[in-house]
Structure 1
């Protein structure tokens, strides 16, 4: 599905909250099965630390969202989108209610977005943007939160270590707050549920490459852009090999794949891309107007979002 933005919509007031920072060595000492004996492999792929939290999901999400709301000096927030694929203790509905209560907004219309795993940010942005463009709310609060509840933290598909964390932002018709923002220019999503049906890794890689390429072209084409026009691509915090594979599937030079917090944070599920944007806002923002590709992904779904940096006012 392709959805070029008919009106300007902005992503701003980015914040995040993660669990305790642990080296991979400390994580193995705490839980020998956590990395399934893959510490050396993770080191080779650029991983050094993970973030571990025992907080309930709504509290972890609220820790990030409160920072976003405090940083926003602009229009009233009229909707919320809560993204997660972590199983709830009771239900996703109860988690949503607990989150809204924790940010003192229990009157806020809100929805839960899931089903895309570590790629939930893409559908989340689409839902928040629709609240602004279709429903006319001044701003929508978007938060994505996940953590490991059971099982190892080693993720074979991305050769990375799973971390507990949340990230949040506002989606609005105007940039919010004094900090930098990103204009959302286009968005496309893709699903292919049979990608992993084959036992052949080569067949899976070929199917994934086609699906990612198709999704990226779907986001770029309405803007008259091609992959060569993309300045940089932001992916999830996967290991070096997996991240390079995704960049090449998108048609972008792997050297342009941004992942500044990989060694420090690990893979915070669908929060990774917002965390990287927050880092870019502080240190290495792209030139205003140049296209930046956000590629969010799970094993069977992908979203490509084209944004451009807007300098602080």
Structure 2
């Protein structure tokens, strides 16, 4: 597989609200808010303006942090759960025009939900390997329509925060995080299972799929789960994260949890944000192997091996 490195992550969030706002708006009960707080959640973000107004700020930061001229961007990969192929994405074309990004291959991804990040990494690797593209810009954005979807996940697992992320995947760079390997496991039969109503079947399906996808990663890399310095997960309640760690046999003290309380669940961007935050805080070192797990809508599972690389 062609080596690509992830770097230059920039992010924006909406206006921050305390969890009590959820009960004030009639979205959930006080009991649900109490359960979220017990799990470590404290706040969530809501965009009060179109997120497209923030695209330029994030892109400028990513280009500045990586030192990449805009003209050297070979592809722009847009991924989102809340913006579909039916939306008008002329704002993305306007963004590219504004920065002088020309002849870059535009691509959109929408189906992976909270595994959109690993799907995007897979596609970017493929573009580098088969199309000879050196620099793939990733732009991810999600803004929940509270009138159409619940902001609190079933079982009071977490609360969604509107988020915008940009970053670079490059085969020219050697800093940031090497994307060593990405594996996916698709279990469409699990789509109808409810984590509470179908608890036993859900647990069986969940643990089976998680074991399969991590097993594939272990076979590809030769590295067992316990050999990873960090287990990077979505920003879910801490008991949920403990279950992931226990299932994989990884000590819970290797699971970063800071983002649970400070950010909430940033759709498909939690893992990318956590990788960047760990590096910025000096909590990972050159050569550290990091395991990121994603679960999209209960039926798409991903396991990604990253290697921390210092400039």
- TM-score between both structures, scaled by the size of structure 2: 0.88
| Contact 2:78–2:107 under 8 Å retained in 1 | yes
Aligned to 2:62: 68
| Contact 2:238–2:257 under 8 Å retained in 1 | no
Aligned to 1:131: 127
How many angstroms does 1:92 deviate by? Answer: 5.8
Aligned to 1:282: 280
Q: Quick one: which of 174, 190, 193 aligns to 2:185? A: 190
Alignment map for 1:130-209 (pairs within 5 Å): 130-150=126-146, 151-156=149-154, 159-175=157-173, 181-198=176-193, 199-209=197-207
5+ residue gaps, structure 2, are: none
Aligned to 1:42: 36
Aligned to 1:301: 300
Q: Quick one: which of 107, 111, 114 aligns to 2:110? A: 114
| Contact 1:126–1:187 under 8 Å retained in 2 | yes
Aligned length: 302
| 1: CA distance, partners of 2:108 / 2:155 | 25
Secondary structure in 2 matching 1:143:
strand
Which of the pair is proportionally richer in helix?
A: 2
Change (3 A) 1:192 1:95: farther
Secondary structure in 1 matching 2:11:
strand
How many angstroms does 1:205 deviate by? Answer: 1.0
Change (3 A) 1:102 1:261: farther
| 2: CA distance, partners of 1:191 / 1:157 | 23
Aligned to 1:226: 224
Aligned to 2:26: 32
Q: Supply the RMSD in Å over aligned alpha carbons.
A: 2.3
How many angstroms does 1:95 deviate by? Answer: 5.8
5+ residue gaps, structure 1, are: 1-5
| 2: CA distance, partners of 1:84 / 1:201 | 28
| 2: CA distance, partners of 1:46 / 1:205 | 23
Change (3 A) 1:43 1:251: same
How many angstroms does 1:184 deviate by? Answer: 1.1
Change (3 A) 1:168 1:36: farther
Aligned to 1:3: none
How many angstroms does 1:62 deviate by? Answer: 4.4
How many angstroms does 1:14 deviate by? Answer: 1.2
Q: Quick one: which of 35, 39, 46 aligns to 1:52? A: 46
| Contact 2:9–2:166 under 8 Å retained in 1 | yes
Aligned to 1:21: 16
How many angstroms does 1:104 deviate by? Answer: 5.2
- TM-score between both structures, scaled by the size of structure 1: 0.88
Q: Which consecutive aligned stretches of 4+ in structure 1 deviate over 6 angstroms post-superposition?
A: none
Which of the pair is proportionally richer in strand?
A: 1
